[in-house]
Amino acid sequence: MTPPLQAFWGVQLKPGFTYRHCVAVPFRVAMVVLDEHVQSTKRSTIWARVDDQPFVACNLIPGKIEQQVVDISFAEGETIELWTSGDTTVHLTGYYRYEIPPSIDKSDLTGANDSQPSMNIPRKRPLDDNASGDEELDELISDSSISITTSPAVEPPRATPVKKQKTSPSPAPTSTASPSSSSRTTDLAQRTKGRIILPNGLEVQDKQIGKGFAARPGDICHIWYTLKLAGGKVVDRHFRGAPFSFKVGAGKVVKGLDLGITGMKKSGHREIKIPPSLGYGGRNLPDIPKNSTLIYTVTLVDLIRK
């Protein structure tokens, strides 16, 4: 069984401050420590409220007990509050615990087999035009609410000739929707060994199907990812600490990632190959040359729908 992936977690509890959080990724609190600037000799009681039930986590006394090792785990879906009753700031530290499905190669997330990448690649870029998606991967291709622009390098599909019948006139040709039309079919995509290639050049392949509802515009995605170039060089990755989050369809990431994440479900694992026209195009960025094809390996840690 693949061991869980662990990542640092921490929070500062200042006097009068309450940390409120709906747990998306399970985590464990392992240490509680008084701040180095002690404000008084008053005892600090650290409280935890889980699903409206308050509990005392521990007590710290300046000059006597200034830190305590604890073992407090919070599960996915719990609504929690943490606060201190004392006059001194308290630091809580621990780690996230994310269970990796057995079918996923951990090196895809950690990049254990890759050279050390540069971590200064900007992850945000506005969309060039409106992009949308839908609940299922097939609907990403066929649903009329999605606008998919055909890449100039990809020839639109041609209508299949209708064989003439000897006993009757040739039937009226069925209208064929253009790639930009509101009526399209899955014939616009090529399917090869589980990989779907859209006319705009975007390629997606699910390595692990998640559970629950599928991502659509307006949902909040929390992901871990590795970003590679077509040659295999890792240029960015995010797999420690809080997952990288963005709103689907809001233009906060490159257009290809916005489209490629659509249809994923929680705990799903997908490879998304993005052509330059849906990535950074002709822009030169640190470690990403212009007109680069981007390959994201994405795990959807959590999916929030409001």
181 contact partners, CB below 8 Å, separation of at least 6: none
CATH placement of domain 106-151+185-304: 3.10.50.40
* Token pair of 13 as six digits: 């509890």
User: What is residue 157's predicted lDDT score, i.e. its pLDDT?
Assistant: 44
Enumerate the CATH 2.60.120.340 domain ranges in the chain, comma separated.
5-98
* pLDDT tens, position by position, 214-267: 999 999 999 989 999 998 999 888 876 678 889 998 888 999 999 999 999 998
The model's pLDDT over 67-122, given as tens digits with 9 standing for 90+, comes to 999 999 888 777 889 999 989 999 999 988 765 555 455 554 444 444 444 334 44
Q: Are 38 and 90 in contact (CB under 8 A)?
A: no
Where are the alpha helices (H) located in 72-122, listed in sequence order?
106-110
Distance of CA 89 to the CA centre of its chain: 33
Range list for CATH 3.10.50.40 in the chain = 106-151+185-304
pTM to 2 decimal places: 0.47
User: Is a pLDDT exceeding 90 seen at residue 291?
Assistant: yes
Mean pLDDT of the chain: 74
pLDDT band at 199 (very low <50, low <70, confident <90, very high): confident
CATH 3.40.50.20 fits 5-98, yes or no: no
Q: In angstroms, what CA-CA distances link 188 with 61, 104, 148, 149, 178?
A: 68, 30, 10, 11, 9
